[in-house]
Amino acid sequence: MFTLAEVASLNDIQPTYRILKPWWDVFMDYLAVVMLMVAIFAGTMQLTKDQVVCLPVLQSTVNSKAQPSTSGKAEFTTVETTTAQGEEASMRTVSFGSAPTVTPDVPLSRATSSQYQPTESGQELKKEQKDSSGRKTNLDFQQYVFINQMCYHLALPWYSKYFPYLVLIHTIILIVSSNFWFKYPKTCSKIEHFVSILGKCFESPWTTKALSETACEDSEENKQRLTGAQSQPKYVSTSSDEGSPSASTPMITKSGFKFSADKPMIEVPSVTILDKKDGEQAKALFEKVRKFRAHVEDSDLIYKLYVGQTVIKTVKFIFILCYTANFVNTISFEHICNPKVEHLIGYTQFECTHNMAYMLKKLLISYISLICVYGFICLYTLFWLFRIPLKEYSFEKVREESSFSDIPDVKNDFAFLLHMVDQYDQLYSKRFGVFLSEVSENKLREISLNHEWTFEKLRQHVSRNAQDKQELHLFMLSGVPDAVFELTDLDVLKLELIPEAKIPAKISQMTNLQELHLCHCPAKVEQTAFSFLRDHLRCLHVKFTDVAEIPAWVYLLKNLCELYLIGNLNSENNKMIGLESLRELRHLKILHVKSNLTKIPPNITDVAPHLTKLVIHNDGTKLVVLNSLKKMTNVAELELQNCELERIPHAIFSLSNLQELDLKTNSIRTIEEIISFQHLKRLTCLKLWHNKIVSIPSSITHIKNLESLYLSNNKLESLPTAVFSLQKLRCLDVSYNSIALIPVEIGLLQNLQHFHITGNKVDILPKQLFKCVKLRTLSLGQNCITSIPDKVSQLVHLTHLELKGNCLDRLPATLGQCQLLRKSGLVVEDHLFDALPSEVKEVLNQDTSVPFANGI
């Protein structure tokens, strides 16, 4: 026999699941326990004491017309039997009820079970009746046991015999139905995860501190509102309202965690100080809540399962009530039994009593009462399930009571679980909502960030860049530390991969800040901070993946001089939408775009009147439409790199103020259009390197003012004489071609200071080369040169000489007469340098710290 504890274990759930048990589930669990007790009590009584006692109904042989007693009650005889070792059973009959009918006993022989014995004489019968106190049946003990068992199974209704087992089965089904959603694998894991997260959120120090901080902020704001106290802004813009950000500009709104220079900064109360361990745990909780929400919100399996098990319990209640009520009247104390064993007993009818009848009837009524209460609770549960939409949950009250107005409403299983928790304690949902708020998460990040990145730590990361400016580079942080804005002497600030970067009004303290880098960092700024950046920022670098990541306030910085945009600007969805606002950049001088453009957008012409330098670096995408260049008449420097150009664009010839043209890394094969450069009177630098140019046309002589010509990494095989007619040429770079001969006309370039012919097939150096006495850089490496003339000594201004990779067997001793040449500027094999005379080496080693000027 199983115990109550073993059966009740089916109703056990983890203690942590109690928060998901509303009052009706708890009440039904207790009712189920009581029903279990009823079933086990009834079963125990039935197994130990349940029995029926039967006596035969005696038939009269003397007076067949004799009628039963008029009292309306049946006559019952109780038979007590005792058995001794080896002795026969003796019987004593006791008469109950009204006067028995005059019916003589018909004794049975123990030797025969089916034959009647001859009757005694009338006198003996009368004497026996007079002496005895009851009716004799002449049945032995075994026959009584047999008939009792027969009538127990035949006379008793089945419900009287199986009532405890039915109650037990029904109760177990109800218990399983109540807790099935806790056991089903597809819902159990979600519920377990939810309860675990909910408990951690409830006990997290961040929850208490965030809500406490909210209360502090609310009290401070109310105090300031009542007193009307205001302080002057730390920075007042000297500009007019023109160019102020529109409503769509991504500023930090009031709903967010903000800094404002329009009112005094509220000191962060001490409760916001979290130790590192608590901060990391809170961060992990935010991530867990975010992932759990994404996992649970897309289905409603838990809700459907709970509704299903409630419907099953309701149907079960109706079924039990319907069939059980019919059996209440079938349980009685008296029963008539016709076992049809007359050939064994000698009697055809027996009258039996059931000793557990009254107890079973009372237990049945109690069970029906419990089932009725259970059923009404199930009906109430169904009413609650369908009265309100439980697959939607709103944190409206939490948003009203706290500053976290961005707590989102949730749906499906996530919403249903929160509704269930509210039936236990609404404080759980309130504290859980803190971890659904982005504002709360940003607050936590900010507090942890400021705690980790102090002023002293930031000062250690400040360095000086190539322009000798103080620079700070912050990489992959959760935000911008407040201490950054205390570095008032900072010139350059780089923010990289900081998705939640916010620039507060405190940036107005950084009066030296003129350059800002935003690398995959869509920073938001406050109004006061924007006013400061609009008036002071001169250079801005923005690196992005999609044009939508460019903050809208970037296009409103009217005093910006340099803008660098690096990212995708040519997607079909964007179509340069981010550049429409360039017309507001009224002081923009330099525009650098590194992207995948197929055309120069017309919007760039909005800044044409004041733009002096335009740089377009493509990723290999062919730049087809360049007509917009014609309107940019003030551009002095133009770079079109890696744009797959096959010829020099004709639009360039309209840029009358162009001074430098760079067409690096294209597919230009011919430059016959170079004659049109004669209209560009100010062109001084032409860079056609890293192309596929085969020859230089003689029309290059028309570019009279050309000072620098870069033709390296092409397919040139010779240098035409026309190149050497450019008297103003100061730099000529023809490295990495297939040139075999340096023309003697090179001596005409009296102003030549830098000559690069590395990586060609030159084997002889003409003496006229050394008439270019102003040469400061001479790169002759990786050729086939066998000797260096002694006239190299005429290059008195030479500071850099590259000879490595040739076929030299010695260096001329006259190198020592090149007064500015030092060992650091001499690129040659070590054994050639060691072969020089000691006095020459001594001269070359004198002062290696003297730098050469104007090097490439």
Q: Quick one: CA dihedral 467, 472, 475, 480, positive or negative?
A: negative
Q: Average pLDDT of 256-265? A: 37
Q: Average pLDDT of 689-706? A: 92
Structure-model confidence comparison of residues 851 and 394, the more confident one: 394
Average pLDDT of the chain is 79
| Residue in the block written with tokens 């997607």 | 571
In this predicted structure, what is the pLDDT of residue 727? 92
In this predicted structure, what is the pLDDT of residue 604? 81
Residues 701/724, Cβ–Cβ less than 8 Å: no
Q: Is the pLDDT of residue 522 over 80?
A: yes
Q: Average pLDDT of 778-804? A: 94
Q: Return the CATH number of 4-57+155-184+308-389, one of 1.10.10.10, 1.20.1440.80, 1.10.3720.10, 3.40.50.720.
A: 1.20.1440.80
Categorize the per-residue pLDDT at 664 as very low, low, confident or very high, splitting at 50, 70 and 90: very high
DSSP β-bridge partners for residue 731: 708, 754
What single letter denotes the amino acid at residue 81? Answer: T
Q: Is the pLDDT of residue 440 over 60?
A: yes
Nearest Cα to Cα of residue 547 among 563, 527, 566, 569: 569
What single letter denotes the amino acid at residue 637? Answer: E
Structure-model confidence comparison of residues 251 and 307, the more confident one: 307
Strand, helix or coil for residue 57:
coil
| Residue in the block written with tokens 């859980």 | 432
In this predicted structure, what is the pLDDT of residue 235? 45
In this predicted structure, what is the pLDDT of residue 778? 96
**E strand spans, 236-390:** 334-337, 350-354
Number of H helices, E strands in the chain: 19, 26
Q: Say how many C-beta atoms besides its own lie within 10 A of residue 116's C-beta.
A: 12
Task: Please state the domain extents for the chain.
Answer: 4-57+155-184+308-389, 716-848
139-143, 756-760, 810-814 — which is least confidently predicted? 139-143
Q: Is the pLDDT of residue 787 over 50?
A: yes
- Non-local (6+) Cβ contacts of 123 within 8 A are none
In this predicted structure, what is the pLDDT of residue 70? 36
In 680-768, which ranges are continuous DSSP H helix?
none
Q: Which helix (H) or strand (E) holds 210?
A: helix 205-227
Categorize the per-residue pLDDT at 324 as very low, low, confident or very high, splitting at 50, 70 and 90: confident
Structure-model confidence comparison of residues 16 and 729, the more confident one: 729
Residues 803/831, Cβ–Cβ less than 8 Å: no
Please state, in angstroms and rounded to a whole number, the distance separating the CA atoms of residues 615 and 823: 38
In this predicted structure, what is the pLDDT of residue 269? 39
In this predicted structure, what is the pLDDT of residue 603? 76
Nearest Cα to Cα of residue 176 among 20, 47, 278, 305: 305
In this predicted structure, what is the pLDDT of residue 256? 38
CATH superfamily of 716-848: Ribonuclease Inhibitor (3.80.10.10)
Highest mean pLDDT out of 144-153, 441-450, 747-756 = 747-756
Residues 651/673, Cβ–Cβ less than 8 Å: no
Q: Average pLDDT of 633-647? A: 92
pTM strictly above 0.75: no
Categorize the per-residue pLDDT at 110 as very low, low, confident or very high, splitting at 50, 70 and 90: very low
What single letter denotes the amino acid at residue 80? Answer: E
Please state, in angstroms and rounded to a whole number, the distance separating the CA atoms of residues 21 and 27: 10
pLDDT digits (tens, 9 = 90+) for 829-846: 999 999 999 999 999 888
In this predicted structure, what is the pLDDT of residue 12? 52
**What are 676's two structure tokens?**
């049109």
pLDDT digits (tens, 9 = 90+) for 277-304: 777 788 888 888 888 888 888 888 889 9
Categorize the per-residue pLDDT at 496 as very low, low, confident or very high, splitting at 50, 70 and 90: very high
Q: Is the pLDDT of residue 271 over 80?
A: no
In this predicted structure, what is the pLDDT of residue 520? 92
Tell me if domain 4-57+155-184+308-389 and domain 716-848 are identical in fold.
no
